[in-house]
Amino acid sequence: MGQRGENDSSGLPKDDEGTWKGGFFVGQGGNGVIHYWVNVDEFQKVRDRMVIKDDWVSDSNEEPEAYRGLYEDLVKKGMDFGINPDRPGKAKIEERFNREAYLQAMLTDPDSRDSATTVPLRGIRKGHDHEWRIPNGDTSKKLYTHWRFYMDLFHAGDLHGILASHIVGEGDNKKPIPEPIPEPFIWCVFTCIAEALAQSERVVQTRPNARQEQDEVITFVDMKPPNMLLYVTRRDKYPVYPKPLLSDFGAAHILYKEDPRQNRNHEKPYSHGATVGFFAPEMVKRDIVFKRDKLAIERPLHSWTNVWQTGRTIESMMHLRTVVREDQDEICIGDCPIKDKDPIDIKGFPDFKYSDDLIDLVWRCQRFEPEQRPTTTELLELIQERALQHSRGMDTWADERNIPQGCAINFSAGSGPNTVADSFARPKTKDEMDGYW
């Protein structure tokens, strides 16, 4: 702690003008843990902020054919922080592949961070704490490679936090009383996700070594509110409803419909990594009861899977669904209730109703038959056609002094912490982070 550059435990590139301090726990996921670091000058004024995610991955480090050329792009963007410290920027094919880092780097434009639609990557390196583990459901040990991801700090939290802020207490019992999220912001989130999907398709289809058929997409697989980080710049005004960016590419894959992995049992060659309640019908395993109940369909994962999960994410905002339990049939694995005939029914808000335009589009996104859902391009066009008439007020909500009446928001105004003491004044405990991952 407190040493400069690569001499401290952050492993960050050297910075002679500041000192990195941190190791502050933020949260943890399936195979990783995230900590918060700040760079301070000699007067302890914060110069920069970053999060470091330590991840342990059992996949091979050898670069597959479909991902050739992406490492060179990563290096060109200055993101190789030490994949092989002895060969900076020249790591060998058999030692350098991390699918999550490759995809996140491919979607990162270092010169256009303010217009980003996905969470940017700053850098990636290999750690030193590789481990032999026995995976769940297995009997033999596998080597888990330790990787370190370096990313911007998103101090406003995630979309899950927005949902939680709209569930307020009343009286001594603090009984949850839902407060609907304003529809203009829901259209904003809808737009941001659709733009991110469209941008990802453009990038993946024009990358080095892309298929000539131009039919590949990034299937995100684990899209959900906690994986939508809220982006704000540190200026004088703090937005009430910050812009969401797609994050967490650990479950994402570059896929096309005839991909050899897209066979009848495609859940076996690669893991889905999705969350209960966010399984599209084509993601459900073929040999379980849901197929009999028409909750599974034999289709490959593709862009229509992203569209389905987009609809489910927006629906969760409309229902204020912050907790997903396997015993809740309506949000269990698969599409239940099936959205074949009737649009969704939003209940629980007296004297309040979302527009038919919004309800209809969320329903369209979650149709059981993938071919009945809008394509990514069609979805963005439909949103652009409908959103404008329902977006009144979004131009003022970036100013915290213009909070619309009735909105339950727990974000405070200001430009964020400016000293180390401020940065660590309210740490989240591990228990507080449970349910975010």
146 and 295 inside one domain: no
Question: What is the structure's pLDDT at 107?
Answer: 97
Mean pLDDT, range 125-146, rounded to an integer: 83
**Residue 12 Cα distances to 19, 108, 166, 427, angstroms:** 10, 19, 38, 22
- The pLDDT of residue 432 is above 70: no
Out of 113-117, 182-186, 382-386, least confident range: 113-117
65 and 105 inside one domain: yes
189 and 239 inside one domain: yes
Look up residue 423 and give its two tokens: 């940065």
In a domain, 420, yes or no: no
Q: What is the pLDDT of residues 299-312, one digit of tens each?
A: 899 999 999 999 99
In a domain, 437, yes or no: no
**More reliable by pLDDT, 118 or 130:** 118
Task: Report the domain count for the chain.
Answer: 2
In a domain, 221, yes or no: yes
Out of 30-34, 56-60, 392-396, least confident range: 392-396
- The pLDDT of residue 287 is above 70: no
Q: Which residues contact 88 (CB under 8 A, 6 or more apart)?
A: 80, 82
In a domain, 176, yes or no: yes
Work out the pLDDT band at 203, boundaries 50, 70, 90: very high
SS3 397: coil
Identify the domain boundary among 104, 136, 153: 153
* Cβ neighbours, 10 Å, residue 64: 13
Would you state the torsion angle of the CA atoms of residues 227, 329, 270, 289, taken in this order, to the nearest 10 degrees?
-170
**More reliable by pLDDT, 428 or 224:** 224
222 and 361 inside one domain: yes
20 and 134 inside one domain: yes
β partners of residue 46: 40
β partners of residue 56: 146
Q: Which residues contact 189 (CB under 8 A, 6 or more apart)?
A: 159, 228, 244, 313, 314, 317
Q: Cα–Cα distance between 393 and 241 in angstroms, integer?
A: 11
Range of the domain at 86: 1-153
Instruction: Report the Cα 41 to chain-centroid distance in Å.
Output: 32
309 and 245 inside one domain: yes
In a domain, 120, yes or no: yes
Look up residue 92 and give its two tokens: 């060998």
**More reliable by pLDDT, 114 or 109:** 109
188 and 255 inside one domain: yes
Question: What is the structure's pLDDT at 117?
Answer: 94
H or E element in which residue 130 lies? none
Measuring CA to CA, which residue among 118, 90, 89 is closest to residue 106? 118
Which residue shows structure tokens 């936090």?
161
Question: What is the structure's pLDDT at 359?
Answer: 92
In a domain, 432, yes or no: no
Dihedrals φ, ψ of 273, to 5°?
A: 70, 20
CATH of the domain at 165: 1.10.510.10
In a domain, 428, yes or no: no
Work out the pLDDT band at 31, boundaries 50, 70, 90: confident
272 and 162 inside one domain: yes
Question: What is the structure's pLDDT at 129?
Answer: 81
Give the chain's length.
437
Cβ atoms 141, 133 nearer than 8 A: yes
In a domain, 429, yes or no: no
Question: What is the structure's pLDDT at 179?
Answer: 84
Q: Cα–Cα distance between 275 and 437 in angstroms, integer?
A: 9
Which residue shows structure tokens 């593709």?
302
Question: What is the structure's pLDDT at 335?
Answer: 42
Q: What is the pLDDT of residues 329-371, one digit of tens each?
A: 333 434 444 455 556 667 667 788 899 999 999 999 999 899 9
Look up residue 205 and give its two tokens: 């289809």
Work out the pLDDT band at 113, boundaries 50, 70, 90: confident
Dihedrals φ, ψ of 419, to 5°?
A: -130, 165
Q: What is the pLDDT of residues 222-270, one digit of tens each?
A: 999 999 999 987 565 667 788 899 999 999 999 999 988 776 554 444 4
107 and 249 inside one domain: no
pTM to 2 decimals? 0.83
126 and 170 inside one domain: no
SS (H, E, C) the chain: CCCCHHHCCCCCCCCCCCEEEEEEEEEECCCEEEEEEEEECCCCEEEEEEEEEEEEECCCCCCCHHHCCHHHHHHHCCCEEECCCCCCCCCCHHHCCCHHHHHHHHCCCCCCHHHCCECCEEEEEECCCCEEECCCCCCCCEEEEEEEEEECCCCCCEHHHHHHHCEECCCCCCCCEECCCCHHHHHHHHHHHHHHHHHHHHHHHCCCCCCCCCCCEEECCCCCHHHEEEECCCCCCCCCCCEEEECCCCCCEEECCCCCCCCCCCCCCCCCCCCCCCCCHHHCCCCCHHHHCCCCCCCCCCHHHHHHHHHHHHHHHHHCCCCCCCCCHHHCCCCCCCCCCCCCCCCCCCCCCCCHHHHHHHHHHCCCCHHHCCCHHHHHHHHHHHHHHHCCCCCCCCCHHHCCCCCCCCCCCCCCCCEHHHHCCCCCCHHHHCCCC
